[in-house]
């Protein structure tokens, strides 16, 4: 009986050398075609060009020299806006506009607002003071996995109904609501991104990026999803389809004060600062990382409960004061950052840079509006004059909050019991706990800290077949052909074997 290898040799012996070379050429052509086709579906300087397309990269937009780039600082607060946090915002972002960027316009920040517990009158005031208001869902519901397992219809309800709330209840023009962030930073893959894309959102700010690992590496600039999301997917489900012109402002972690672990949110570090100096140094060192490397925007994402600790509020206040004292640092909104990226302008010419002008600052437009300030937790720390009015709504909202707290604890227990450590547990504390409850006890924090981790590296990097992965540069047709030719010609034995 013939062995299988003898059968193969017999089959090859049936071909002439010419036939074999012909087959080889066909294979080379096919390979070239596949690789060339891939080059058109990969992000590269040939397929993706400014201003409306940008590949994920550390390089400075417009190839500007680093010392001409303004350092942008993007502060973003998530969740409800209400009396619990109003006075913090007044202190950090004073309504008289006396904290100014170097171009003379008031500093600004971004608020991703969810519906529950939100006082929309306050949201309208923030918008009139030049803050950007983003969409952060209606329900912010639990469990977290609901967002991962959601479908397009449900995501559309969350995204579009909350946008409508912001338009109707806060009086914000729909065209000013440009960004979305998912609760718990849990994306819902194409089911979410198709909704954003089809409804003219400019950007998403949900996807987490687990680098840099230290304070000495450059940081990623925002990019578009013209060629999908090609980075490591830290929290499934990341988008797989292509969304032309839809920007991603990544959630880039800040390093904790011990320089040990990244934290997606400033307020959710494994190593929480112990005093004002720790908190300030954490902010300052992360700032210097960006400032001294590629000057990518410094992303500072946080929830207002972090500010209920006095020394943390003081540290952020001092940090902002330091920022406004520097002549090349700008505290801007996410949309303003994207506007700069589309039109990279050296800091010397920013006085005339229109997207950063003061026209968004209209505090007097809201002067006559008296917000009801109907919600204030009875134990909320007093950081203001106390103009809020306690009403019967408070009791109803207290009940709602307690229900949500219980629900969250159940959610955590489920994760614990299944041994499932949330992909990123440094999620929104959101409506359910930290936003509206008292600061956690030490033991509870420790317990959460154990579960809290920074990033996992599940390899969801790509769902393409292995031979189509990699950067466009590594898959140029000429390179593919060259590799194959070299492989064949340095092994003449193989050719002679085929030609037998
Ligand atoms: Zn949230």
Distance 424 CA to ligand 1 centre (A): 13
Comma-separated ranges of CATH 3.20.20.370 domains in the chain: 61-374
Distance 373 CA to ligand 1 centre (A): 21
Question: Which stretches of 44-136 are assigned E, i.e. beta strand?
Answer: 71-78, 110-113, 132-135
Under-50 pLDDT residues of the chain: 1-12, 33-39, 377-480, 483, 486, 489-490, 492-500
Distance 77 CA to ligand 1 centre (A): 9
Structure confidence by residue, pLDDT tens digits, 131-180 = 999 999 999 999 999 999 999 999 999 999 999 999 999 999 999 999 99
Q: Which stretches of 44-96 are DSSP H helices?
A: 83-92
* Contact predicate 369/250, CB 8 Å: no
Picking from 69, 80, 114, 109, the residue whose alpha carbon sits closest to that of residue 92 is 109
Distance 209 CA to ligand 1 centre (A): 18
Distance 82 CA to ligand 1 centre (A): 14
3-class secondary-structure state, position 194:
helix
* Contact predicate 426/394, CB 8 Å: no
User: What confidence score (pLDDT) does residue 1 get?
Assistant: 42
The two structure tokens encoding residue 55: 């590949």
Distance 483 CA to ligand 1 centre (A): 49
CA 88 vs CA 67, 81, 322: distances in Å: 33, 11, 18
Distance 352 CA to ligand 1 centre (A): 35
Distance 140 CA to ligand 1 centre (A): 7
Distance 185 CA to ligand 1 centre (A): 8
Distance 429 CA to ligand 1 centre (A): 6
Q: Terminal CA-to-CA distance of the chain, rounded, Å?
A: 22
Distance 144 CA to ligand 1 centre (A): 11
Distance 136 CA to ligand 1 centre (A): 7
Picking from 405, 368, 375, the residue whose alpha carbon sits closest to that of residue 390 is 375
Structure confidence by residue, pLDDT tens digits, 193-239 = 999 999 999 999 999 987 767 788 889 999 999 999 999 999 999 99
The two structure tokens encoding residue 376: 């204030």
User: What confidence score (pLDDT) does residue 27 get?
Assistant: 67
Distance 183 CA to ligand 1 centre (A): 4
Q: Rounded distance, CA 360 to CA 350, Å?
A: 16
User: What confidence score (pLDDT) does residue 371 get?
Assistant: 76
Distance 115 CA to ligand 1 centre (A): 10
Neighbouring C-beta atoms of residue 493, cutoff 10 Å: 8
The two structure tokens encoding residue 411: 């959610």
* Contact predicate 125/111, CB 8 Å: no
Q: Rounded distance, CA 352 to CA 25, Å?
A: 59
Neighbouring C-beta atoms of residue 30, cutoff 10 Å: 10
- Is domain 61-374 given the CATH code 3.20.20.370 in the classification? yes
């Amino acid at each position: 009986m013939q062995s299988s290898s003898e059968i193969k040799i017999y089959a090859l012996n049936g071909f002439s050398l010419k036939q074999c070379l012909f087959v080889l050429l066909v294979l080379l052509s096919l390979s070239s075609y596949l690789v060339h086709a891939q080059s058109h579906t990969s992000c590269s300087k040939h397929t993706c060009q400014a201003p409306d397309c940008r590949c994920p990269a550390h390089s400075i937009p417009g190839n500007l020299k680093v010392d001409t780039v303004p350092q942008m600082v993007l502060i973003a607060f998530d969740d409800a806006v209400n009396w619990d946090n109003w006075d913090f915002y007044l202190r950090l972002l004073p309504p008289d506009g006396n904290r100014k960027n170097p171009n003379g316009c008031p500093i600004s920040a971004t608020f991703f607002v969810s519906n529950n517990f939100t006082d929309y009158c306050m949201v309208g005031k923030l918008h009139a003071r030049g803050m950007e208001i983003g969409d952060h869902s209606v329900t912010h519901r639990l469990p977290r996995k609901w967002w991962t397992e959601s479908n397009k219809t449900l995501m559309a309800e969350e995204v579009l109904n909350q946008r409508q709330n912001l338009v109707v209840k806060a009086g914000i023009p729909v065209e000013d609501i440009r960004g979305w962030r998912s609760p718990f930073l849990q994306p819902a893959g194409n089911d979410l991104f198709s909704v954003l894309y089809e409804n003219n959102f400019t950007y998403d700010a949900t996807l987490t990026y687990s680098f840099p690992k230290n304070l000495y590496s450059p940081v990623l600039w925002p990019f578009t999803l013209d060629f999908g999301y090609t980075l490591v997917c830290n929290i499934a489900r990341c988008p797989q389809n292509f969304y032309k012109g839809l920007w991603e402002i990544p959630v880039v972690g800040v390093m904790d004060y011990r320089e040990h672990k990244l934290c997606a949110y400033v307020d959710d570090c494994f190593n929480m600062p112990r005093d004002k100096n720790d908190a300030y140094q954490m902010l300052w060192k992360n700032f210097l990382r960006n400032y001294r490397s590629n000057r990518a925007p410094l992303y500072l994402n946080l929830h207002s409960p972090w500010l209920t600790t006095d020394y943390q509020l003081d540290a952020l206040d001092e940090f902002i004061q330091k920022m406004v004292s520097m002549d090349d640092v700008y505290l801007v909104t996410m949309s303003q950052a994207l506007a700069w990226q589309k039109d990279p302008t050296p800091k010397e010419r920013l006085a005339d840079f229109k997207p950063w002008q003061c026209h968004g600052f209209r505090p007097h437009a809201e002067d006559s509006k008296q917000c009801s300030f109907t919600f204030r937790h009875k134990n909320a720390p007093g950081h203001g004059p106390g103009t809020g009015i306690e009403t019967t709504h408070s009791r109803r909202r207290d009940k709602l909050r307690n229900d949500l707290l219980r629900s969250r604890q159940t959610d955590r227990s489920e994760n614990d019991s299944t041994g499932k450590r949330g992909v990123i547990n440094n999620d929104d504390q959101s409506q359910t706990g930290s936003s509206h409850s008292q600061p956690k006890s030490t033991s509870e924090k420790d317990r959460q800290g154990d579960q809290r981790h920074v990033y996992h590296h599940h390899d969801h990097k790509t769902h393409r077949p292995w031979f189509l992965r990699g950067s466009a540069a590594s898959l140029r047709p000429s390179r593919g052909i060259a590799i194959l030719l070299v492989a064949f010609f340095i092994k003449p034995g193989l050719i002679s074997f085929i030609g037998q």
